[in-house]
Amino acid sequence: MVAIPTTAHGVPSIKVSRNAINVRFADPPAVHDTRDLHKRAECGESIGSCSPGQCCSENGWCGTTGDFCGGPQCQLDYSDSCDTAKSPSGESTLGVDRSPLGTVPYGTEITQCTSPGTMALTFDDGPWEYTSMILDILADRGVKATFFVSGNNLGKGMIDDESTQWPSILRRMHSDNHHIASHTWTHRDLNQVNPDIRESEMVYNEMAFRNIFGWFPTYMRPPYAYCYWSTGCTDTVSALGYHIINMDIDTKDYLFTEPATIDNAKDRFASLFPTTAGDDGHIALAHDIHYQTVVNLTDYMIDLSLSRGYTLATVGGCLGDPEENWYRNADGGSSSSAETPALTPTPSPSVSPDQTCGDTAGYTCQGSAFGACCSYYGYCGASAAYCGTGCQAQHGSCDTLPSGLYTTANGLCGAQFDATCMSFVKWLPVGIQRAWGLPLNFQLLVSVG
């Protein structure tokens, strides 16, 4: 058995920074003798929950500090006090109008800049103790970057807690004209959690931003860089009005956090985009929670990009999106709506307040927070399940479908829909009926035709 360093409580010693890494690709945790751990563990599957006020850690120990309650490792099923479950102060932002802003696409993953010859450097998982340093470096170099902020990961406390350094760091980030985007509240994998947690991971982060700035972002990057349509993730973040940003250059800096290894991240960066700027623009991923990234990799990325003829830009900037669209005022509209006259549409029929749409419901999806498309079943949404086969164009927007026979977007097929189910493979994640109100017979329809 491998010896595991332990704390006074016999808990395997886990450095806080471990929560920060992309777990999916990270070094595996230290090898445990699981039989031994289960014998001694205090909480978890087949053992039970911690006492009220305590958190069940990844390895089954009850406690109240960041090691137990922080980030995605805290076991929600056996704890009542994980950071994930704690909301920032004030009213929920869920009721804020989510009308689409600008022309950058929603509901699809964006991995590259659209402005030719641009390079967007992006930094995830902060703010952290090195974030002020990277802001200094970027200021010295005159470079604007994009920060995907996690509001309460790593057991660091809430970013809107004025007794911490986080609010002032974020205010400086904004006043330095960097682009601030969301990376969820506690860095949970949005594909793995239930719809309620998926939503609170986005909304709690919004509330913290609202408490600091009065607005919250319209751009997000999913933790671990995955947000699948099949799990409901794409629908959730799109319905909340977020652009989904990933990257085409992954430095994997979280694997190379030592002076002796950081050159591997540099080599990856150098090898993943053309040596001469051309028609393409690129989005590079690194993390401002790693010291070597901040003091070593960042200057390298700036120097190499410039030497290859690229223009360094923010994500919003390199997608041609005006800055007022990067943020949504907590009272609705874009961040500049206070200065611009509000449009006063008089929709008829009314915009759906509860996701229902169509003749019976009497609502349109155009302008609905749930998405602009009215599905065959009479529900508003933004994905192909709503905008594709059977979509009701008279009650909202629909995808433009090619003429002739095409592959169904949602299981509806046959002559009536000019669609085939031959290539349709789909599974419904647990909870989707609760989350999206799909009819119970939806799964049966999938196999018909």
Report the interface residues with Zn ion, using CB under 5 A: 124-125, 223
Which residue has the closest beta carbon to Zn ion? 124
> CA-to-CA distance for 317 and 144, rounded, in angstroms?
10
**Closer residue to Zn ion in complex, CB, 286/412:** 286
> CA-to-CA distance for 93 and 32, rounded, in angstroms?
42
Spot the catalytic one: 187, 287, 290, 395. 287
**Closer residue to Zn ion in complex, CB, 72/317:** 72
- Three-state DSSP at 336 gives coil
Q: What is the DSSP string of 3-70?
A: ---B-TTSPBP--GGGGGS-GGGSPPPPP--HHHHHHH--SBTTTBPPPTT-EE-TTS-EESSHHHHS
**Closer residue to Zn ion in complex, CB, 124/253:** 124
**Closer residue to Zn ion in complex, CB, 62/247:** 247
Min. distance of Cβ 290 from Zn ion in angstroms? 11
Min. distance of Cβ 161 from Zn ion in angstroms? 20
**Closer residue to Zn ion in complex, CB, 125/321:** 125
> CA-to-CA distance for 106 and 243, rounded, in angstroms?
5
Spatial CB neighbours of 113, under 8 Å, sequence gap ≥ 6:
119, 120, 280, 281, 282, 283, 313, 315, 318, 319
Longest Cα–Cα distance in the chain: 70
Handedness of CA 94, 96, 99, 103 (dihedral sign): negative
Stated as kind and residue range, the H or E segment containing 263 is helix 262-271
Min. distance of Cβ 223 from Zn ion in angstroms? 5
Min. distance of Cβ 94 from Zn ion in angstroms? 23
> CA-to-CA distance for 33 and 42, rounded, in angstroms?
16
Min. distance of Cβ 115 from Zn ion in angstroms? 25
**Closer residue to Zn ion in complex, CB, 201/324:** 201
Spot the catalytic one: 67, 124, 160, 321. 124
Catalytic site includes residue 282: no
> CA-to-CA distance for 355 and 98, rounded, in angstroms?
13
Catalytic site includes residue 290: no
Q: Are 189 and 196 in contact (CB under 8 A)?
A: no
> CA-to-CA distance for 325 and 51, rounded, in angstroms?
45
Min. distance of Cβ 319 from Zn ion in angstroms? 21
Active site residues: 124, 287
